[in-house]
Amino acid sequence: MADFQDVSYSVPVEGEIAQPQVPEEEDDDELSTLDEPVKDTFIRDMKVIGSKFAHIIYPRSNSLLLRDWDLWGPLVLCVILAVFLNGAKDETTGGQGPQFAEVFVVVWVGAGIVTLNAQLLGGKISFFQSVCVLGYCILPLVVAMIICWFLVKIFEQSIVFVVIRIILVAAAYGWSIFGPCLITHLQCMIPITVVTASVAFLGDSQPKGRKALAVFPICLFYFILAWMVVTYS
């Protein structure tokens, strides 16, 4: 203890002990969501989902769907599709159409299988990002489903009616697959290789030369969904 010196100051301690203020502008958004009304949160989330729908219909940027992925949009689309298809009567056999659970399982398990395949092929995309994009790209088919539903309710069945429905669903299928990439091509001048489907978004995540392998199951997945929609009566 002898080593310690008795330190005493006769002069009072002076100075600033306040820490420099860190600008907290970035945290404001995060903090403010804690005490905001539920309505605001809901509306904000709906706006985000809506902007993603807009990206499917009219793609402007490739990165939004991949960067801020969510599963709300796919869930909403899947539920709408399943509700409309649920229990539709098949007049050929008198049997019932696909059940809610069947459509639901087909959408999610199908998306899962397609994603797994993309991962096995060496795609550099996370599981939920891919499921998100695949789910959002059902949108054209859901729109076609709703239009078909109104057509079935309003008009009587005839051969012209069936042809119109087939054309409508084929267009929606094409939109799900080729639409986004074609428009992206026109706007961003991104060269289309084998590009696929919803694969204006997903195609680039695959190594070169493998795109066709990743695209085939996507086409098959949307084809089954389109088939379900077109056979609805």
Partner 1 sequence: MSFNRDEWGGFSSGDEQTTGPAMSHPTSTAIIDMSNVEDSSATSSFEDVGDVNHRMKDTNGSRRQEQQDPSGMMGGISGNLGKVVADQMWQSGQQQAKKMIDVYGNIDILRPYFDIDPKTLLWRCAYSFVPLKNLSTAQKIPSELYGPLMTVFTLIAILLMNMKTSGTVLQQGTLMGTAFGICFGYWFGVSGFMYFLAFLCNAYISIVQCLTLLGYGMISHCVILLFGHFTHYSHGTFYVLWALIAGASAARMITVLLSRTVGKSQRLLLCVAIASLHMLFLLYLHFAYHHVVEEIVHSLEMVDTPIEKHDSEDSMRAVRDATHLKINNSLEIKNNSLNSS
Name the segment binding partner 1 (CB under 8 A); options: 21-29, 33-41, 87-95, 136-144: 87-95
CB of 162 to partner 1, least distance (A): 5
Q: Which is nearer to partner 1, 33 or 96 (CB)?
A: 96
| Contact pick of 92, 153, 154, 191 for partner 1 (by CB under 8 A) | 92
Window 144 to 173, contacts with partner 1 (CB under 8 A) = 157-159, 162
To partner 1, the closest distance from the beta carbon of 133 in angstroms equals: 20
- Whole-angstrom distance, CA of residue 112 vs CA of residue 199: 16
Question: Contact between 209 and partner 1 (CB under 8 A)?
Answer: yes
Closest approach of Cβ 34 to partner 1, in Å?
27
Binding to partner 1 by residue 213, rule CB under 8 A? yes
Give whichever of 51 and 117 is closer to partner 1, judged by the CB atom.
Answer: 117
> Please, what is the minimum distance in Å from the beta carbon of residue 138 to partner 1?
17
Residue length, the chain? 233
CB-CB neighbours of 214 under 10 Å: 28
Any idea what the Cα angle at residue 230 is, between residues 59 and 136, rounded to 5°? 25
The CA distance from 233 to 231, in Å, is 6
Looking at 16, 21, 91, 189, which residue binds partner 1 (CB under 8 A)? 91
Q: What angle do CA 20, 21, 25 make, to 5 degrees?
A: 155
At 86, phi and psi to the nearest 5? -60, 125
Residues that bind partner 1 (CB under 8 A): 90-93, 95-99, 101-102, 105-106, 113, 116-117, 119-122, 157-159, 162, 209-210, 212-213, 216-217, 220, 223-224, 227, 231, 233
